[in-house]
Structure 1
Amino acid sequence: MAAVAVGWTTAPGKEFFLFAQEAVVETKKVVWPTRKESFQTTGAVFAFVVAMAVFLWITDKGLEYVIYDLLLGVRK
């Protein structure tokens, strides 16, 4: 409780509380996405992640084949 009183009366404390009040006001101005929009965006992100994972896997296997089989001839 004493820390709040000290924070409320000092200049840095007053600046912090003013900043916190302004942050709350700005947060109320934000247009938050609907539940449907959130699920659609999440689905798009997951789809992109899966697509990139497949692409990187194919690229990795292709490079592995070229380097080890064709260039070095390690695998038979």
Structure 2
Amino acid sequence: MVDKIKFALALLLVAAGVAGFYLLSAQPTVLRVLAVLAGVAAGVAVAWFTEAGRQFAAFASDAITEVKKVVWPTRKETLQTTGIVFAFVVIMAFFLWVTDKSLEWVLYDLVLGWRHS
């Protein structure tokens, strides 16, 4: 129950920041944006201390750990893979064009006889 109240308070703080953006319409844009950022920061701070917030923090920490384990491709590997993809796209485009023109010839010239002058 306490977590639900904290989440409701967090949502209210974010809503207050957004409302402040519109209520401060006569003020400079920097001040209006700061109102939104303050509301969001306060909402995140309150939500952080809920059980779901702690679970999210643990999940984010685990995700960062997993990203650090990823072996990223080198520039050479990336360029080679990109070249292979482009070559495949060109070959498939040519194949589909030939298939389309073949079917067009079969249907319009042979079956229907529409192109005989």
TM-score with structure 1 setting the length: 0.95
Q: Deviations over 1:2-46 (max 9, x none)?
A: 112112101111111111111110000000000000000000000
Amino acid at match of 2:87: A
Structure 2 residue aligned with 1:51, among 85, 91, 96?
Answer: 91
Q: Matched residues in 2 for 1:31 and 1:47: separation?
A: 25
Structure 1 equivalent of residue 51 of structure 2: 11
Paired-residue identity, %: 64
SS in 1 for 2:47: helix
Structure 2 equivalent of residue 70 of structure 1: 110
Q: Matched residues in 2 for 1:7 and 1:53: separation?
A: 51
Specify every segment of 5 or more residues in structure 1 that has no aligned partner in the other structure, as ranges: none
Q: Matched residues in 1 for 2:46 and 2:74: separation?
A: 41
TM-score with structure 2 setting the length: 0.63
RMSD: 0.7
Amino acid at match of 1:31: V
Relative contact order: is structure 1 or structure 2 higher (C-alpha 8 Å, sep ≥ 6)? 2
Q: Post-superposition, which runs of at least 4 consecutive aligned residues in structure 1 deviate over 4 A?
A: none
Q: Matched residues in 1 for 2:54 and 2:89: separation?
A: 45
Structure 2 equivalent of residue 2 of structure 1: 42
